[in-house]
Amino acid sequence: MDNAQFIEIATLISAFSFGFLSSVHCVGMCGGIAGALSLSIPGGRRASRWLQVFYSACYNFGRIFSYGVAGTIAAGVSFETITFFSPDVGLIFLRILSAVILVFMGFYLAGWFPSFATLEHVGIPLWRRLEPLGRRFMPLKSPLYAFAYGAIWGWLPCGLVYSVLLYSASSGSALQGGLTMIMFGVGTLPAVFGISMASQWFLAMRRKDAVRKVVGLTVVVLGIASLVYTGGLFGEDCAVCGVDK
């Protein structure tokens, strides 16, 4: 495995871990939305547990779809901007920034940097325009309405989402940025979905302080390792950095 591949894999694993272990916050933010979702399913279909699960899945797929779109846009714009000003070392800078953000995300997961998730106000102006649009899909007349509803609510201002979005913006490519946000969204599914005993077991494990610290420190180590691997890119003859060995 070369340096760039390691960094990409570490990015995806860390995004998933961040989503999974910060899902207490997700339940607080989206729990009421999920409840409204269930009540908005047509009466005859609401009686079927499996249809409720299907509608919930459509809602969550819509939410994660929006995360992926946001990550793709953020990473694409940041990559094009920074390589425009510094094409030789732009990607190296993004790799370093990504590793530093990853270290802070690890501190947050371990409970040592709670202020990392205080960015909600950034997206409030956009949300004021989108929130009325989401209401148009209520009640949920079909699974497609549930998907659209989730796609709108995926833009709900959330400090944790914005933290990972900042991380994805420094991932080095639009594709990697989108995948990073998707992995974060997948990590939140056990808590937001909450449909099985397995989910409850995972949630109970995630709440344990020792588990949070171990996973948080693991993410910190991944961030430090990413910095080391990024340093190795300076010694490679590759188009990534444009610097000869």
Q: How do residues 179-207 score in pLDDT, each as one tens digit?
A: 999 999 998 887 666 544 344 555 555 55
Tell me, what's the pLDDT at 117?
Answer: 59
Domain presence at residue 243 = no
Q: How do residues 109-161 score in pLDDT, each as one tens digit?
A: 777 776 665 665 677 787 788 878 877 887 778 889 889 988 998 888 777 78
Domain presence at residue 238 = no
Contacts of 223 (CB under 8 A, 6+ apart): 10, 14, 99, 100, 101, 102, 103, 105, 106
Longest CA–CA separation in the chain, Å: 68
Distance CA 82, CA 88 (A): 10
* Residue 81 burial (CB count, 10 A): 12
Cβ–Cβ under 8 Å, residues 173 and 7: no
Tell me, what's the pLDDT at 169?
Answer: 86
Q: How do residues 29-80 score in pLDDT, each as one tens digit?
A: 555 566 566 666 666 665 567 777 788 888 889 999 999 999 999 999 988 8
Domain presence at residue 104 = yes
- The residue type found at 165 is L
Domain presence at residue 160 = yes
State pTM to two decimals: 0.74
How does DSSP classify residue 41?
S
Tell me, what's the pLDDT at 68?
Answer: 96
Domain presence at residue 143 = yes
Which domain range does residue 112 map to? 3-233
Query: What is the total count of domains within the chain?
Result: 1
Place of tokens 């997206």: 123
Whether residue 92 has pLDDT greater than 70: yes
Q: What percent of the chain has pLDDT over 90?
A: 13
Give me the chain's average pLDDT, please: 75
Domain presence at residue 239 = no
Tell me, what's the pLDDT at 14?
Answer: 80
Tell me, what's the pLDDT at 31?
Answer: 55
